[in-house]
Amino acid sequence: MDWSRAKTILIISFACLNALLAYQLYVTWTDRNEDNVVSTRTVEELNQLLAAHQIHLEDTLPMDLQKMAYVQVRVERDDTSWHSLSPAVDATSDRSRQKVEAELKKQIPSLSGYEFAILEGSRGEWRYYQLVDQYPVYAAPLAIKHVDQQLTAFRQIKVQVLSKEQPNVVISAHAAFKTAVEEGFVPHGATVKQVRLGYIGQLAEGDKQFLVPVWRFLVDGREPTFVNAVTGSIETEHLQ
Protein backbone atom coordinates (compact mmCIF):
# COMPACT_ATOMS: atom_id res chain seq x y z
CA MET A 1 0.00 0.00 0.00
CA ASP A 2 1.21 3.49 -0.88
CA TRP A 3 0.98 5.12 2.57
CA SER A 4 2.05 8.51 1.28
CA ARG A 5 -0.81 8.54 -1.23
CA ALA A 6 -3.28 7.29 1.39
CA LYS A 7 -2.19 10.03 3.79
CA THR A 8 -2.68 12.67 1.10
CA ILE A 9 -6.20 11.36 0.31
CA LEU A 10 -7.06 11.34 4.02
CA ILE A 11 -5.90 14.94 4.44
CA ILE A 12 -7.91 16.06 1.40
CA SER A 13 -11.00 14.19 2.71
CA PHE A 14 -10.78 15.93 6.10
CA ALA A 15 -10.30 19.28 4.39
CA CYS A 16 -13.43 18.71 2.27
CA LEU A 17 -15.37 17.61 5.36
CA ASN A 18 -14.32 20.72 7.27
CA ALA A 19 -15.31 22.91 4.34
CA LEU A 20 -18.73 21.24 4.18
CA LEU A 21 -19.27 21.65 7.93
CA ALA A 22 -18.21 25.30 7.72
CA TYR A 23 -20.69 25.91 4.89
CA GLN A 24 -23.52 24.22 6.80
CA LEU A 25 -22.67 26.31 9.85
CA TYR A 26 -22.76 29.48 7.74
CA VAL A 27 -26.14 28.60 6.22
CA THR A 28 -27.54 27.79 9.64
CA TRP A 29 -26.24 31.07 11.04
CA THR A 30 -27.57 33.23 8.21
CA ASP A 31 -30.98 31.54 8.21
CA ARG A 32 -31.60 31.38 11.94
CA ASN A 33 -34.36 33.42 13.52
CA GLU A 34 -34.34 31.71 16.88
CA ASP A 35 -31.96 34.35 18.24
CA ASN A 36 -34.56 37.01 17.44
CA VAL A 37 -32.65 38.43 14.50
CA VAL A 38 -33.88 38.57 10.90
CA SER A 39 -31.80 36.31 8.67
CA THR A 40 -29.48 37.73 6.02
CA ARG A 41 -31.18 35.60 3.38
CA THR A 42 -34.61 37.05 4.25
CA VAL A 43 -33.28 40.60 3.93
CA GLU A 44 -31.62 39.86 0.59
CA GLU A 45 -34.75 38.20 -0.83
CA LEU A 46 -36.90 41.19 0.12
CA ASN A 47 -34.44 43.68 -1.34
CA GLN A 48 -34.41 41.78 -4.63
CA LEU A 49 -38.22 41.65 -4.67
CA LEU A 50 -38.59 45.39 -4.00
CA ALA A 51 -36.06 46.20 -6.71
CA ALA A 52 -37.85 43.98 -9.22
CA HIS A 53 -41.19 45.68 -8.49
CA GLN A 54 -39.66 49.18 -8.22
CA ILE A 55 -41.18 49.61 -4.75
CA HIS A 56 -39.79 52.48 -2.68
CA LEU A 57 -39.62 52.11 1.11
CA GLU A 58 -39.46 55.32 3.15
CA ASP A 59 -39.32 53.54 6.51
CA THR A 60 -36.66 51.40 8.19
CA LEU A 61 -37.55 47.77 8.88
CA PRO A 62 -36.52 46.45 12.32
CA MET A 63 -33.95 43.66 12.36
CA ASP A 64 -34.95 42.35 15.81
CA LEU A 65 -37.93 40.01 16.06
CA GLN A 66 -40.61 41.09 18.49
CA LYS A 67 -42.84 39.16 20.90
CA MET A 68 -46.58 39.85 20.88
CA ALA A 69 -49.72 38.13 22.13
CA TYR A 70 -53.39 37.95 21.26
CA VAL A 71 -55.17 40.38 23.62
CA GLN A 72 -58.75 40.05 24.84
CA VAL A 73 -60.52 43.39 25.18
CA ARG A 74 -63.91 44.95 25.76
CA VAL A 75 -65.02 48.18 24.10
CA GLU A 76 -65.46 50.90 26.71
CA ARG A 77 -66.41 53.67 24.31
CA ASP A 78 -67.52 53.76 20.70
CA ASP A 79 -68.58 57.23 19.61
CA THR A 80 -70.97 57.40 16.68
CA SER A 81 -71.11 61.21 16.72
CA TRP A 82 -68.74 64.11 17.31
CA HIS A 83 -68.34 65.69 20.76
CA SER A 84 -67.59 69.40 20.81
CA LEU A 85 -64.46 70.76 22.42
CA SER A 86 -65.43 73.77 24.50
CA PRO A 87 -63.47 75.87 24.30
CA ALA A 88 -61.91 74.96 20.97
CA VAL A 89 -58.15 74.40 21.13
CA ASP A 90 -55.80 76.69 19.24
CA ALA A 91 -53.69 74.62 16.79
CA THR A 92 -51.94 77.37 14.83
CA SER A 93 -48.66 76.42 13.21
CA ASP A 94 -46.54 78.38 15.68
CA ARG A 95 -47.69 76.19 18.59
CA SER A 96 -45.96 72.86 19.28
CA ARG A 97 -48.04 69.71 19.27
CA GLN A 98 -47.01 69.10 22.89
CA LYS A 99 -48.61 72.39 23.99
CA VAL A 100 -51.74 71.68 21.98
CA GLU A 101 -52.03 68.17 23.42
CA ALA A 102 -51.61 69.51 26.95
CA GLU A 103 -54.76 71.58 26.40
CA LEU A 104 -56.57 68.71 24.71
CA LYS A 105 -55.96 66.43 27.71
CA LYS A 106 -58.01 68.80 29.87
CA GLN A 107 -61.06 67.81 27.81
CA ILE A 108 -59.91 64.36 26.63
CA PRO A 109 -58.13 62.81 29.64
CA SER A 110 -57.63 59.47 27.85
CA LEU A 111 -55.53 61.15 25.12
CA SER A 112 -52.37 60.21 27.04
CA GLY A 113 -53.09 56.57 26.19
CA TYR A 114 -53.10 57.31 22.45
CA GLU A 115 -50.36 57.86 19.89
CA PHE A 116 -50.43 60.59 17.26
CA ALA A 117 -50.54 59.20 13.71
CA ILE A 118 -48.25 61.73 12.10
CA LEU A 119 -48.61 60.28 8.57
CA GLU A 120 -52.40 60.02 8.66
CA GLY A 121 -55.43 62.20 8.92
CA SER A 122 -55.83 65.24 6.70
CA ARG A 123 -56.01 68.99 6.90
CA GLY A 124 -59.44 68.56 8.43
CA GLU A 125 -58.54 65.96 11.05
CA TRP A 126 -55.93 64.90 13.57
CA ARG A 127 -55.77 61.13 14.15
CA TYR A 128 -54.53 59.07 17.09
CA TYR A 129 -54.57 55.36 17.94
CA GLN A 130 -54.94 53.81 21.38
CA LEU A 131 -51.82 52.01 22.63
CA VAL A 132 -51.68 48.54 24.18
CA ASP A 133 -48.20 47.59 25.38
CA GLN A 134 -46.89 50.52 23.31
CA TYR A 135 -48.40 49.09 20.11
CA PRO A 136 -51.17 51.02 18.28
CA VAL A 137 -54.63 49.50 18.11
CA TYR A 138 -55.79 50.41 14.61
CA ALA A 139 -59.36 49.46 15.49
CA ALA A 140 -59.40 52.06 18.29
CA PRO A 141 -58.81 55.49 16.71
CA LEU A 142 -59.38 58.93 18.16
CA ALA A 143 -60.17 61.61 15.57
CA ILE A 144 -60.14 65.36 16.23
CA LYS A 145 -61.67 67.90 13.85
CA HIS A 146 -59.22 70.54 12.62
CA VAL A 147 -61.01 73.59 11.23
CA ASP A 148 -59.44 77.01 10.58
CA GLN A 149 -56.46 76.15 12.80
CA GLN A 150 -58.78 75.19 15.63
CA LEU A 151 -59.50 71.75 17.10
CA THR A 152 -63.25 71.80 17.55
CA ALA A 153 -64.60 68.28 18.19
CA PHE A 154 -63.58 64.66 18.72
CA ARG A 155 -64.82 61.11 18.61
CA GLN A 156 -63.07 57.97 19.77
CA ILE A 157 -63.09 54.24 20.27
CA LYS A 158 -61.53 53.04 23.52
CA VAL A 159 -60.92 49.46 24.65
CA GLN A 160 -60.25 47.90 28.05
CA VAL A 161 -57.71 45.07 28.18
CA LEU A 162 -59.17 41.98 29.92
CA SER A 163 -56.42 39.38 29.41
CA LYS A 164 -53.40 38.49 27.31
CA GLU A 165 -52.21 35.17 25.94
CA GLN A 166 -48.60 34.01 26.19
CA PRO A 167 -46.41 36.24 23.99
CA ASN A 168 -44.68 34.57 21.05
CA VAL A 169 -42.07 35.73 18.57
CA VAL A 170 -43.87 37.18 15.55
CA ILE A 171 -42.74 37.04 11.95
CA SER A 172 -40.34 39.69 10.75
CA ALA A 173 -41.40 42.86 8.95
CA HIS A 174 -39.33 41.60 6.02
CA ALA A 175 -41.29 38.35 5.74
CA ALA A 176 -44.62 40.19 6.09
CA PHE A 177 -43.56 42.74 3.46
CA LYS A 178 -42.64 39.93 1.07
CA THR A 179 -46.12 38.41 1.49
CA ALA A 180 -47.85 41.74 0.89
CA VAL A 181 -45.91 42.29 -2.33
CA GLU A 182 -46.27 38.75 -3.66
CA GLU A 183 -50.03 38.77 -3.08
CA GLY A 184 -50.45 42.09 -4.86
CA PHE A 185 -51.36 44.30 -1.91
CA VAL A 186 -48.30 46.48 -2.52
CA PRO A 187 -48.39 47.15 -6.28
CA HIS A 188 -45.57 47.74 -8.73
CA GLY A 189 -44.03 51.20 -8.33
CA ALA A 190 -45.69 51.88 -4.96
CA THR A 191 -44.22 54.00 -2.17
CA VAL A 192 -44.50 52.45 1.30
CA LYS A 193 -44.46 55.27 3.83
CA GLN A 194 -44.60 53.29 7.07
CA VAL A 195 -44.32 49.72 8.37
CA ARG A 196 -45.51 49.24 11.95
CA LEU A 197 -46.49 46.50 14.37
CA GLY A 198 -49.90 46.89 15.99
CA TYR A 199 -53.29 45.31 16.60
CA ILE A 200 -56.56 45.07 14.72
CA GLY A 201 -59.90 43.45 15.56
CA GLN A 202 -63.62 43.43 14.95
CA LEU A 203 -64.93 45.44 17.87
CA ALA A 204 -68.51 45.55 19.10
CA GLU A 205 -69.48 47.54 22.18
CA GLY A 206 -70.03 45.34 25.24
CA ASP A 207 -68.65 42.14 23.68
CA LYS A 208 -65.34 40.49 24.51
CA GLN A 209 -63.09 40.42 21.45
CA PHE A 210 -59.53 39.47 20.60
CA LEU A 211 -57.04 41.87 19.12
CA VAL A 212 -54.81 40.31 16.46
CA PRO A 213 -51.11 41.22 16.17
CA VAL A 214 -50.39 42.57 12.69
CA TRP A 215 -47.83 44.31 10.56
CA ARG A 216 -49.44 47.33 8.93
CA PHE A 217 -48.14 48.71 5.63
CA LEU A 218 -49.10 52.29 4.90
CA VAL A 219 -48.90 52.63 1.11
CA ASP A 220 -49.14 56.07 -0.44
CA GLY A 221 -52.55 56.59 -2.05
CA ARG A 222 -54.00 53.26 -0.90
CA GLU A 223 -55.78 51.76 2.09
CA PRO A 224 -53.43 50.19 4.67
CA THR A 225 -52.53 46.51 4.26
CA PHE A 226 -52.44 44.24 7.31
CA VAL A 227 -50.42 41.03 7.58
CA ASN A 228 -51.07 38.74 10.55
CA ALA A 229 -47.84 38.84 12.56
CA VAL A 230 -48.41 35.29 13.88
CA THR A 231 -49.66 33.35 10.84
CA GLY A 232 -48.12 35.51 8.09
CA SER A 233 -51.38 35.72 6.16
CA ILE A 234 -53.17 38.82 4.83
CA GLU A 235 -55.79 39.98 7.35
CA THR A 236 -59.21 40.98 6.08
CA GLU A 237 -61.69 39.31 8.44
CA HIS A 238 -60.71 41.25 11.57
CA LEU A 239 -60.81 44.72 10.11
CA GLN A 240 -63.02 47.24 11.86
Tens place of pLDDT per residue across the chain (240 aa): 555 655 555 555 555 555 454 445 434 444 444 457 888 899 999 999 999 999 999 999 999 999 999 999 999 999 989 999 999 999 998 899 999 999 999 999 999 999 999 888 677 899 999 999 999 999 999 999 999 999 999 999 999 999 999 999 999 999 999 999 999 999 999 999 999 999 999 887 777 889 999 999 999 999 999 999 999 999 876 444
pLDDT value of position 218: 95
Which of 75, 147, 151 shows the shortest CA–CA distance to 106? 151
| Residue 31, SS3 per DSSP | helix
Rounded Cα distance, 101 and 106, in Å: 9
pLDDT value of position 31: 46
Which of 156, 144, 167, 166 shows the shortest CA–CA distance to 203? 156
- Residue 185 dihedral angles phi and psi, to the nearest 5°: -85, -15
Buried residues in 168-198 as b, exposed as e (16+ CB within 10 A):
eebbbbbbbbbbbbeeebbeeebebbbbbbb
pLDDT value of position 214: 97
User: Crossing angle, helix 40-52 and helix 3-31, to 10 degrees?
Assistant: 60
Pairing of strands 56-57, 191-200: parallel
The whole-model pTM stands at: 0.81
User: Crossing angle, helix 40-52 and helix 173-182, to 10 degrees?
Assistant: 30
Pairing of strands 125-132, 135-147: antiparallel
Q: What Cα–Cα distance (Å) separates residue 145 from each residue in 125, 136, 139, 153?
A: 5, 20, 19, 5
pLDDT value of position 33: 44
Pairing of strands 168-169, 191-200: unpaired
Which of 67, 70, 230 shows the shortest CA–CA distance to 162? 70
pLDDT value of position 16: 55
pLDDT value of position 32: 44
